Amino acid sequence: MARLTLARARQLLDGALGEARAQGFKPMGVVVVDAAAQVVAAVCEDRASALRLDIALGKAAAAVGMGVNSRALVQRAKDLPAFFAALPAVAQQKFVPQTGAVLITAADGTVIGAAGASGGTGDEDEQIVFAGIAAAGLGHG
C-alpha cells in the first residue's frame, strides 16, 4: 500500500510556500497529515498570525476524515448544520470544515493523506495546497 513519506510531505510544504510567496499571499501555515489524520509535517512562516497551524490541521483532518476536499465540506456544513456542529465534539482530531484542504492520493487513486493551509482566503489556501501537491509529484482528490 502506498503511503505518504516525510520526504514527499516536505516537498509539498516547500511547493506550497513557494506558491504563497510567488503570489504575495500573507504568511501561511501548512500541515500534511496521513490517511489516519496524523501529522507527517507542518510549517508556519515567519510573521504568520496565531492559530495558523491549528486551523490548517483542522482543515486537513476534516478532509481526510470525511474523505473529500474541504471545499465540499463547506457546502455539506451548510446543508447539515446540526451534524457538522456535533462533529468537533466526537472527532478525535481538530475538525474545521473550511476551504483550504485537499486530499492527497497515490497513483492508483487511494487516499494517502491530506494537506491543509491557513493564512489567506480559503481560495488562496487551497491554491497553495494544490501547488504543493503538484510540486511533490502526488495526486489529489
Pairwise CA distance, residues 114 & 38, whole Å? 10
Q: Tell me whether residue 66 is in a domain.
A: yes
Pairwise CA distance, residues 50 & 10, whole Å? 22
Name the DSSP class of 3.
Answer: -
Top-confidence residue, 91 or 118? 118
Q: What mean pLDDT comes out for the span 36-60?
A: 96
Among 12-16, 83-87, 112-116, the least confident range:
83-87
Q: Tell me whether residue 114 is in a domain.
A: yes
Q: What mean pLDDT comes out for the span 49-69?
A: 96
Q: What mean pLDDT comes out for the span 77-96?
A: 90
pLDDT band at 1 (very low <50, low <70, confident <90, very high): low
If you average pLDDT over every residue of the chain, what do you get?
95
Domain that holds residue 79: 6-140
Q: For 89-117, write each residue's pLDDT tens digit.
A: 888 888 999 999 999 999 999 999 999 99
Q: Tell me whether residue 53 is in a domain.
A: yes
Q: How many domains does the chain have?
A: 1
pLDDT band at 58 (very low <50, low <70, confident <90, very high): very high
Q: Decide: 125 and 17 in contact? Cβ < 8 Å.
A: no
Q: Tell me whether residue 107 is in a domain.
A: yes
With a pLDDT cut of 70, the percent of the chain lying above it is 99
Residue 98, domain CATH: 3.30.450.150
Top-confidence residue, 54 or 89? 54
Q: Tell me whether residue 111 is in a domain.
A: yes
Q: For 15-33, write each residue's pLDDT tens digit.
A: 999 999 999 999 999 999 9
Quote the cell numbers at residue 54.
491549528
Q: Tell me whether residue 1 is in a domain.
A: no
Q: Which phi-psi region, left, alpha or beta, contains residue 51 (left: φ > 0; alpha: ψ -120 to 50)?
A: left
Quote the cell numbers at residue 47.
510573521
